[in-house]
C-alpha cells in the first residue's frame, strides 16, 4: 500500500511540475514599432537612429560594431507615430559601391549558393545591394526576432567577406 501511495504522490508531483505556468514570453503580436525595433537592435550592440521623414514610410539606420551601415525598411504598417505605427514586414538592406568583387556575378554566385538574403544590383546598376526580409504579420516572440537579427548580422558578415567590402 505504501508503494502505491508513494507512486501516486510522485505522479501528482510530476503532473504539477508539467502544469506549472511557464515564464511569460515577450511577444510582438501586432507588428513592431520603430521604438521597439530600435531597442531590439540596440540590444545587439548596434547604433540605431530613426531616419523616418514620412510616417507612412518608416525606416531606421543602423551601424554594426564593425562599422557596417544598413537600413531597416518597415512595411505593412498601421497606426501613427514612432511608438504607435506598428509594422508587419521588415527589410534589412545594406549596399556598397560596385567593385571587381561586388558586381552582378558575385550577386548571382551568392544567390545560387546561399538561402538567406538576396544579392542584386540597384536599378541603375551603380550599387551592390543585399537584403534580408522577414514577416512578423502573425506575431513574433522577442527570442525569434533576436534570432532573425543574429542571422542578418551573420549573413551580412558573410557577404562582406565574400565581396571584400
Average per-residue pLDDT in the chain? 86
Q: How far apart are CA 40 and CA 83, in angstroms?
A: 14
Residue 5: what pLDDT?
47
pLDDT digits over 13-65, tens only? 455 445 555 555 568 888 999 999 999 999 999 999 999 999 999 999 999 99
**Could you give the dihedral angle defined by the CA atoms of residues 78, 95, 63 and 44, in that order, rounded to the nearest 10 degrees?**
70
All structural domains of the chain, each given as residue ranges with its CATH number in brackets, are 26-163 (3.30.1460.70)
Task: List strand residue ranges (DSSP E) for the chain, in order.
Answer: 27-28, 47-50, 59-63, 69-78, 86-97, 118-121, 127-135, 140-141
From 63, 76, 163, 67, select the one nearest 120 (Cα to Cα): 163
pLDDT digits over 21-33, tens only? 555 556 888 899 9
Count of residues in the chain: 165
Residue 10: what pLDDT?
45
Is residue 82 exposed (0-12), middle (13-18) or buried (19+ Cβ within 10 Å)? middle
Sheet holding 118-121, edge to edge: 47-50, 59-63, 69-78, 86-97, 127-135, 118-121
48 Cβ contact list (under 8 Å, min separation 6): 38, 41, 42, 60, 61, 62, 63
pLDDT digits over 106-148, tens only? 899 999 988 899 999 999 989 999 999 999 998 999 899 999 9
The reported pTM is: 0.82
Count the alpha carbons within 13 Å of 110 in the hemisphere toward its beta carbon: 27
Amino acid at each position: 500500500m505504501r508503494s502505491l501511495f508513494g507512486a501516486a504522490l510522485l505522479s501528482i508531483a510530476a503532473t504539477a511540475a508539467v502544469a506549472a505556468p511557464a515564464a511569460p514570453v515577450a511577444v510582438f503580436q501586432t507588428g513592431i514599432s520603430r521604438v521597439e525595433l530600435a531597442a531590439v537592435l540596440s540590444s545587439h550592440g548596434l547604433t540605431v537612429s530613426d531616419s523616418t521623414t514620412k510616417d507612412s514610410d518608416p525606416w531606421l539606420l543602423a551601424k554594426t560594431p564593425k562599422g557596417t551601415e544598413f537600413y531597416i525598411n518597415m512595411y505593412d504598417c498601421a497606426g501613427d507615430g514612432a511608438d504607435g505605427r506598428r509594422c508587419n514586414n521588415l527589410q534589412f538592406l545594406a549596399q556598397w559601391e560596385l567593385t571587381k568583387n561586388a558586381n552582378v556575378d558575385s550577386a548571382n554566385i551568392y544567390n545560387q549558393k546561399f538561402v538567406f538574403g538576396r544579392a542584386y544590383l540597384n536599378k541603375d546598376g551603380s550599387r551592390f545591394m543585399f537584403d534580408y526580409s522577414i514577416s512578423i504579420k502573425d506575431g513574433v516572440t522577442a527570442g525569434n526576432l533576436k534570432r532573425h537579427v543574429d542571422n542578418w548580422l551573420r549573413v551580412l558578415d558573410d557577404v562582406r567577406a565574400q565581396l571584400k567590402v
